[in-house]
Amino acid sequence: MIIGGKKEKESYQNYVQVVNELMNSDKEYVLETKGSTILEIYFKSNVDTDLSMDVSADGNFWINDYYVWRNVSELKEGFFNAWNFVRIRVSKRGEKDTFTLVIIAS
């Protein structure tokens, strides 16, 4: 939007993915960050598990295990982000074990 001959600053947009699932198989979740510079990851589970963060510039070629957390049941992390795509992988646990994952790029 242009006001008085100057372009108004674009409003910030957040890209969010929220999941609440069983841990009965290995899971992966991809968030397109579209150049957002801040990445936040929140995770809560009833059992300890392993998480991995993979990153990609184009969504095709992935750098696996860019960041890894072992034996966690709760996670609150923030990063400066330079990637267009982020993938979080959650390791399988018991059939009735559950987790909640929130990924935010802003």
Cα–Cα distance for residue pair 57/34, rounded to 1 Å: 10
Q: Quickly count: other Cβ atoms within 10 Å of residue 85's Cβ.
A: 19
In this prediction the pTM is: 0.83
Place of tokens 């860019």: 66
Q: Tell me the per-residue pLDDT of 50-76, one tens digit each, with 9 for 90 and over.
A: 999 999 999 999 999 999 999 999 999
The residues with which 58 forms a beta bridge, in sequence order, are: none
Q: 103 and 23 in contact (C-beta within 8 Å)?
A: no
Mean of per-residue pLDDT scores for the chain: 86
Cα separation, 100 vs 11, whole angstroms: 28
Domains and their CATH numbers in the chain: 13-105 (2.60.120.380)
